[in-house]
Structure 1
Amino acid sequence: MTAKISYDDVEVGTELPAQSFGVTRADLVRYAGASGDFNPIHWNERFAKEVGLPDVIAHGMFTMAEAIRVVTDWTGDPGAVVEYGVRFTKPVVVPDDGTGATIEVTAKIGAKLDDHTVRVDLTAMSAGQKVLGMSRAVVRLA
């Protein structure tokens, strides 16, 4: 599929609308059920701390999925994403305080490639720390 945004209308450096995503312990339980990833570091505070984490942490794939929403919301077509990859640099710590955590995502066009595709460079932050590194998507535009 192809995004509704024209390749000719974007330039390197064009910023996509930034977004923030809340993450609660309830979100992690729902994600665990959907993904089948019931690792206790994602729901058991005592266990997470015993293995050296500061608290329960969000699933890496959950964090990755939230970040790409900036791109799919911008394109209006999730099928326009032809490639996506990240490095997990820091965990998203999700306290049991009724508020949880926030993932803040910014993105910009990093390069115009061949065949009406662009590379989108994403930055995902939580609690003032970069949680995804080398976060890049290749997107096919109209």
Structure 2
Amino acid sequence: MSESATVERIELEVGQEADPRTYPKLTRTDFVKYQGASGDFHPLHHDEPFAKATGFPSVFSVGMLQAGMLATYVTDWLGVETLRRFKIRFVDQVWPDDELTCTAKVTAIADEPGGGRRVTVELRCERQTGSAALKGDAEFVLP
């Protein structure tokens, strides 16, 4: 007989923030590994001469790489099984040697019909320069 998985109740309040997570510096190899996983082999993300010929100072990350990092960060906090919506906006490019820090802040909590709480979280993925690479929000339905 198997037990069904249950999500434990997490006590939250509006204004509460998750502990920030800083990821190691990104490398060109990280960009290429992500390109291989995603199937997006555009040369702007791995070919330095091509990137420079098109007016960029260097290759830059596929935006979905940092979106995945942000999604992992927030679902590690509140649970992937409780995620109902994840929305992001690309704000700034991410370059080799950028160090990204993800943050999350509870902006709303509402009772759900039939039980549970809908929790809205403001998200940010920031470069070491202080500029936001991504901004967004997510909604979770928690017990």
TM-score interval for Structure 1 and Structure 2 normalised by the shorter chain = 0.7 to 0.9
**Match of 1:47, as an amino acid?**
F
Note the residue ranges of structure 2 that are not aligned, 5 or more in a row: none
For 2:88, the equivalent position in structure 1 comes to 86
1:27 is displaced (CA, Å) by 1.4
For 2:41, the equivalent position in structure 1 comes to 38
1:2 is displaced (CA, Å) by 7.2
Which has the higher relative contact order, 1 or 2, with Cα contacts under 8 A spaced 6 or more apart?
1
Q: Any residues of structure 2 matched to 1:1-142 within 5 Å, and which?
A: 3-6=7-10, 9-22=11-24, 23-75=26-78, 77-94=79-96, 100-115=97-112, 116-128=117-129, 129-133=131-135, 135-142=136-143
Cα RMSD over matched residues?
A: 1.7
* Structure 2: distance between partners of 1:2 and 1:113: 21
* Structure 1: distance between partners of 2:128 and 2:46: 19
Check conservation: 2:101, 2:128, Cα contact below 8 A: no
Q: Percent identical across equivalent pairs? A: 34
Whichever structure has more strand as a proportion of its residues is 1
Larger Rg: 2
Residues 42-91 of structure 1 show CA distances to partners (whole Å, capped at 9, x for unaligned) of 1111211222222111111111111122211112x312211011111111
Residues 25-50 of structure 1 show CA distances to partners (whole Å, capped at 9, x for unaligned) of 11111111110000111111121122
* Structure 2: distance between partners of 1:71 and 1:2: 19
**Match of 2:104, as an amino acid?**
A
Per the normalisation by structure 1, the TM-score is 0.85
After superposition, the Cα gap between the structure-2 partners of 1:2 and 1:57, relative to the gap in structure 1 and judged at 3 Å, is farther
**Match of 2:44, as an amino acid?**
I
1:3 is displaced (CA, Å) by 4.5
